[in-house]
A and B are shown apart, each in its own frame.
Chain A
Amino acid sequence: MRRASVLVFLLVLMSVAMPDAVMSADDQPWRQRVSAAPPEMTSDDVTEEIRFGREVAARLLGRYGLYANDPLTKYVNLVGQSLAAYSNRPELKYHFAVLNTSEINAYAAPGGYIFITKGAIDKMQDESELAGVIAHEMGHINGKHVVKELDIKATEGSAAAGLARLIGGGTESARIAFSKAVDKAMDTLFTTGYKREDEIEADKGSVMQCAVAGYDPAGLIRYFERISAAKGKSTEVLDKTHPAYDARIILLKDSITAAAIDTAALKTYKERFAEAMKTKK
């Protein structure tokens, strides 16, 4: 009994003594065998990404519900598709929708599913701000941030893989892993957030994507400045899962300067946005 207590103590000690440890096989890349080199992405992987994203999208819709406003949804889709035309992932078909919540946030699910909340749209003043938010979310999809983090890829269909699954019971494992990965993706969206470098990549990407689509990339800066003042329940998830606004605004400004973008020459489409907002109930 005493020995068992010591072992339990050791287990607990290990779990609390290592919170700052950086666990990674990447620290010792020489351990990686040649068989573990990452393979090229296949069309089956894209299909799996879309299947995964659809599951995450379903959970998002289940949580908030769809904002039933066809004209507004159509407008958001038009803005989104104009940005998607410049996406570096032509294999994906993007879908855009408005979530029926006063929370201020936007979400990207792998495979091309982008959601923006009604609360976020309420805080916007022109179309370039909407484009900036959508472009940021598109950056997460284009950068495959969730796909890489959760290692989403197709199940193999080869005979060897089938035999391996037969021996090891892998089919059930894969199904469970899929479900767990969706749970983790939801965790990323609502609790832990993306990795800091992923957020930076998405912010930087939004600058170029907005600019090439003809939108003023400073729209995202204006939006950030406005919602940074909005404290409370409506920004609780957003604040918890994203880096500080000050740092992001500086990064966006630096990116615009570095790319020598003349924001004055690009459009905000303030009037068109205001017209679309009239459809809100």
Chain B
Amino acid sequence: MSFRKFSAAMAMVFILMVMTGVSTADEFHYNNLLIGDRATGMGGAYTGVSDDPSGLYYNPAGIVYTTGRNLSASVNAYYNTKKEYKNVIGGNGWERKATSLLPNFFGIVQPLGKLKFGFSYAVPDSIKEDQDQTFAGPLPTALGSPANSYTINFNNEDNTTLIGPSIAGELTNSLSAGLTLYLYHRSNQTILNQFIMLQDGRYEWQNQYIEKVERGYKPVLGLMFTPAEKLSIGVSFARIFIYNSSTTSQATFKDADAATPDDVTPPTGGPPSEKRKYPYELRIGAGYFPSSSLLVSADAVYYTKVSDPVNGDRVDVLNLAIGTEYFLNKSWALRGGIFSDMANTPELDPTRTNQDEKIDLYGVSMSISNFSRNTSITLGGSLTMGSGKAQILGGSTEIQSVDQAGWMMFLSSSYAY
């Protein structure tokens, strides 16, 4: 049983609330974490540039144009996101915070004969989300007594990892091709604990645990075309294919009138049919290099819609990004970018229940790099914010407004040897 269905089923039992639309590592967006040191500073507008190890992720064809014999780059980032759901319980809002500190990219590029080979590790999605709130009563219930208090403890950890080799070569003087073959791994663990203390002394308690692991692969096929001097056009095409997916879940429920927990679901594995479906991803980007000190780039990334009755349908999404890089001198460079991260969920229908939230996000990023002979260090960050609608209560048609804001800081290095 999927977590979504599971939660919905439990919502029938609970009088107060059971959450639905649990955002597991924000599966409702495709552009959760920007990848790469230079690319992150430029808002992820990198498909038409891609001439350093970050290109292994965005457009492997670009690594043909890496300068330097061997290049490696690594990025360590700290993320912080906050979501505020308004008017959830008796005028009270819900607040969920997520943080994550992780090395989110490592890449190395090396020439071998007339080709270039690369290997990279990327974490395009990672979250450690927490909600620890107690709401004081009296709160209305259908249990024959108002609630004195309602406590919710929610913890969600979700990590997606890509790791794999790349190969690229020049087909003609103005066209190169590259292929990255990532192994995909996603692990998600969600724990939800809810406790309702009623005014008449009874209490109701629920505990849920869901663990999901997905394994698959993600090929990224890229082309880089140079139609004119100082201009490059990059195109890459990718999709995640899941070949193995497993789900384990467990739930304990104590009814207000029961003396002991009366509904324990033993751990179960999910059937193979629950393999999540992912969209096709088409990136088109342009890079304009007017001088050795200035670079301007833009990306459009289109994700196809997905029909997945188990994990939720997804609408098609178009994300845009614009970035620039300017060298103050040989040793210092500034980068900046703006980007969008649109929700892949449909508009919420006020007549339906258990719908996924829809929050369109917009972000800005910037970074500063210091270059020395073989190395560069980059310090940067981004801000993301947006607002939308959510249906956080299970089995309810109520729709809440939700605001989301996040920031990220990263420190990265690249090394040529």
Footprint of B on A, CB under 8 Å?
3-4, 7, 10-11, 14-15, 17-25, 27-28, 30-37, 39, 150-151, 153, 155-156, 158, 160-161, 163-170, 173-174, 177
Contacts and interface: CB of A to CB of B under 8 A. Distances in A.
Contact of A155 (B167, B217, B221, B374): B374
Contacts of A7: 179, 181, 217, 219
A35 B372 CA distance: 8
Nearest to B221: A10
Given A156-B375, A163-B413, A168-B415, A31 B181 contact: no
Contacts of B327: 33-35
B291 to A, nearest CB: 8
Interface of B: 51, 64-70, 72-74, 76, 106, 108, 111, 113-116, 167-173, 177-179, 181, 217, 219, 221, 226, 229-230, 232, 241, 289, 292-293, 295, 325, 327, 329-331, 333, 369-377, 411-417
12 contacts: A7-B179, A7-B219, A15-B169, A19-B114, A20-B114, A23-B169, A166-B413, A167-B413, A170-B417, A173-B72, A173-B108, A173-B417
B74, B219, B327, B375, most chain A CB atoms within 10 A: B375
B72 A164 contact: no
B171 A18 contact: yes
B413 A164 contact: yes
Given A30-B289, A163-B377, A167-B377, A23 B74 contact: no
A168 B65 contact: no
Nearest to A39: B373
A266 B241 CA distance: 75
Contact of A32 (B70, B74, B292, B374): B292
A165 B375 contact: yes
A3 B413 contact: no
Contact of B169 (A21, A39, A153, A170): A21
A126 B293 CA distance: 56
Contacts of A168: 72-74, 106, 413-415
A224 to B, nearest CB: 30
Contact of A18 (B169, B241, B370): B169
Contacts of B177: 14
A109 B259 CA distance: 85
A14 B70 CA distance: 21
B370 A160 contact: yes
Contacts, number: 156
A27 B173 contact: yes
A20 B221 CA distance: 21
Contacts of B72: 168-170, 173
B222 to A, nearest CB: 11
A137 B300 CA distance: 54
B292 A34 contact: yes
Contact of B114 (A4, A18, A39): A18
CB-CB nearest 8 A-B residue pairs: A164-B413, A18-B169, A164-B375, A35-B371, A167-B413, A177-B417, A170-B415, A168-B413
**Which residue among B69, B167, B373 has the maximum number of chain A CB atoms within 10 Å of its CB?**
B373
B415 A165 contact: yes
Given A3-B241, A23-B111, A170-B375, A34 B171 contact: no
Contacts of A4: 217
A170 B333 CA distance: 21
A23 B414 contact: no
A28 B377 CA distance: 25
B34 to A, nearest CB: 17
B330 A34 contact: yes
A124 to B, nearest CB: 36
B179 A14 contact: yes
B377 A156 contact: no
A14 to B, nearest CB: 6
Given A11-B181, A20-B114, A23-B111, 15 more contacts: A14-B178, A15-B169, A17-B171, A21-B170, A21-B172, A25-B66, A28-B226, A33-B333, A35-B331, A37-B292, A151-B416, A160-B372, A161-B372, A164-B414, A167-B76
Contacts of A11: 167, 179, 181
A31 B76 contact: no
A15 B175 CA distance: 16
B226 A35 contact: no
B153 to A, nearest CB: 35
**Of listed A27, A160, A168, A169, residue having the most chain B CB within 10 A:** A168
A25 B231 CA distance: 14
A272 to B, nearest CB: 44
Nearest to B377: A164
Contacts of B330: 34-35, 37
Contacts of B373: 39, 153, 156, 161
Contacts of A24: 170
Contacts of B329: 34
B115 A23 contact: yes
Contacts of A163: 377, 413
A18 B173 CA distance: 12
A14 B111 CA distance: 15
A4 B172 CA distance: 27
B229 A30 contact: yes
Contacts of B331: 35
A156 B372 contact: yes
A155 B375 CA distance: 10
Given A22-B170, A35-B330, A160-B370, A15 B67 contact: no
Given A22-B114, A23-B115, A167-B377, A14 B167 contact: yes
A128 to B, nearest CB: 38
A151 B71 CA distance: 12
A7 B217 CA distance: 11
B411 A31 contact: no
B285 to A, nearest CB: 14
A167 B417 contact: no
